[in-house]
Structure 1
Amino acid sequence: MKSFIKTLGIAVLGGAVVLGSYKFFFEENSQKSIYTEQATTGENPVPISPVNYVNATSIAGVDFTEAAEKTVHAVVHVKNKTVARVRQSWSDLRNGRVPYREAIGTGSGVIITEDGYIVTNNHVIDNARELEVTLNNNKTYKAKLIGTEPNSDIALLKIETDEALPYIVFGDSDQTKIGEWVLAVGNPFNLTSTVTAGIVSAKGRDLDATDANQQSFIQTDAAVNPGNSGGALVNTNGELIGINTAIASKTGSYVGYSFAVPSNNARKIINDIIEFGFVQKGMLGIRGGDLNGNIADELGIDESEGIIVSDVVEDSGAFNAGLRKGDVITMIDNIKITKFSELTGYVTSKNPGDVVVANIIRDGKISQINIELTKNNTVSIPSIEMDLRNLTKSDRSKYKIKEGVKIERTTGGLARYDMRDYVITKINDTEVTNIDDVQNVLRSVNPNATLLIQMKNSAGEIERFRYTLD
Structure 2
Amino acid sequence: MFFMPWGTKNKDFILTLSGFLIAGLVGLLLGLSIFFFIKPATSPPKPVQPTPVEIPVARALPVHPTEIGVFRHNLLETLNEEYVRVIGQTLPAVVNIFSARPVEGSIDLEEGNAKDIKQKRKSWKKSPIDEETSLGSGIILSSDGNILTNAHLVKNAREIRVQLYDGRRYEAKLLGIDSPTDVAVLKISAQHLSILNWGDSDALQVGEQVFAVGNPFGLAGSVSRGIVSAKGRNPTLSSTSYEDFIQTDAAINPGNSGGALINVKGELVGINTAIYSGNGGSNGIGFAIPSKLAKFAYASLLAKGKVIRGFLGVETQEVDEDLQQIFGLPNSEGALITKIEPHSPAFKAGLQRGDIIVRYNDLPVKDPAELRIAVSQSPAGSNIPIVFYREGQRHQVVVEITEQPDNISSASPDESGGNPSWKVTVTGDLQNVFGGLHVVDLDPILRARLSLSPRANGIYLVDVEGGYPAFDILYPGDVIEEIRRPGSAPIKIHSVAEFLKLVKEIPSSESVAVFLQRGNNQMFVMLKP
TM range (shorter): 0.5 to 0.7
- How much does 1:119 deviate? 0.8
Q: Which amino acid aligns with 2:166?
A: N
2:210 and 2:414 map into 1 onto residues whose CA distance is: 42
Q: Contact 2:181–2:242 (CA<8 Å) still a contact in 1?
A: no
How does 1:11-90 map onto structure 2 within 5 Å?
63-90=82-109
- How much does 1:351 deviate? 2.8
1:272 aligns with 2:300: yes
Instruction: Name the counterpart of 1:7.
Output: none
Q: Contact 2:224–2:251 (CA<8 Å) still a contact in 1?
A: yes
Q: Contact 2:140–2:146 (CA<8 Å) still a contact in 1?
A: yes
SS at match of 1:152: coil
- 1:266-302: CA deviation from partner (whole Å, max 9, x where unpaired): 2222222221222234312222211111111112222
- 1:239-284: CA deviation from partner (whole Å, max 9, x where unpaired): 2222111111111111121112222222222222221222234312
1:119 aligns with 2:148: yes
Instruction: Name the counterpart of 1:108.
Output: 137
Q: Taking structure 1 as the reference length, what is the TM-score of the superposition?
A: 0.64
Q: Which amino acid aligns with 1:126?
A: K
Instruction: Name the counterpart of 1:144.
Output: 173
SS at match of 2:131: strand
2:130 and 2:180 map into 1 onto residues whose CA distance is: 28
- 1:63-116: CA deviation from partner (whole Å, max 9, x where unpaired): 544432332211100001233322214454443330222332210011111110
Structure of greater relative contact order (alpha carbons < 8 Å, 6+ residues apart)? 1
Which has the larger helix fraction? 2
1:332 aligns with 2:351: no
Q: Which amino acid aligns with 2:90?
A: T
**Change over 3 Å in CA distance of 1:342–1:281 after alignment to 2:** closer
SS at match of 2:299: helix
Instruction: Name the counterpart of 2:221.
Output: 193
How does 1:46-445 map onto structure 2 within 5 Å?
63-90=82-109, 91=116, 92-96=120-124, 97-161=126-190, 163-209=191-237, 212-213=240-241, 215-377=243-405, 379=406, 388-389=407-408, 408-410=409-411, 417=414
**Change over 3 Å in CA distance of 1:77–1:374 after alignment to 2:** same
**Change over 3 Å in CA distance of 1:197–1:113 after alignment to 2:** same
Q: Taking structure 2 as the reference length, what is the TM-score of the superposition?
A: 0.58
- How much does 1:363 deviate? 4.3
SS at match of 1:358: strand
Which has the larger strand fraction? 1
**Change over 3 Å in CA distance of 1:73–1:100 after alignment to 2:** same
Q: Which amino acid aligns with 1:332?
A: Y
Q: Which amino acid aligns with 2:183?
A: I
**Change over 3 Å in CA distance of 1:333–1:297 after alignment to 2:** same
2:396 and 2:453 map into 1 onto residues whose CA distance is: 37
Instruction: Name the counterpart of 1:16.
Output: none
- How much does 1:357 deviate? 4.0
Q: Which amino acid aligns with 2:356?
A: V
Q: Contact 1:208–1:214 (CA<8 Å) still a contact in 2?
A: no
SS at match of 1:70: helix
Q: Which amino acid aligns with 2:101?
A: T
Q: Which amino acid aligns with 2:333?
A: E
Could you tell me which runs of 5 or more consecutive residues in structure 1 were left unpaired when the two chains were aligned. Answer: 1-58, 380-387, 390-407, 420-455, 461-470
Greater C-alpha radius of gyration: 2
SS at match of 1:236: coil
1:154 and 1:121 map into 2 onto residues whose CA distance is: 5
Q: Which amino acid aligns with 1:260?
A: A
- How much does 1:130 deviate? 1.2
2:157 and 2:262 map into 1 onto residues whose CA distance is: 27
Could you tell me which runs of 5 or more consecutive residues in structure 2 were left unpaired when the two chains were aligned. Answer: 1-75, 110-115, 417-450, 456-529
1:134 and 1:301 map into 2 onto residues whose CA distance is: 54
Q: Contact 1:117–1:159 (CA<8 Å) still a contact in 2?
A: yes
Q: Which amino acid aligns with 1:138?
A: G
Q: Aligned residues: percent identity? A: 35
Name the Cα RMSD after superposition.
Answer: 2.9
- 1:392-429: CA deviation from partner (whole Å, max 9, x where unpaired): xxxxxxxxxxxxxxxx335xxxx68579xxxxxxxxxx
Q: How many residues align?
A: 334
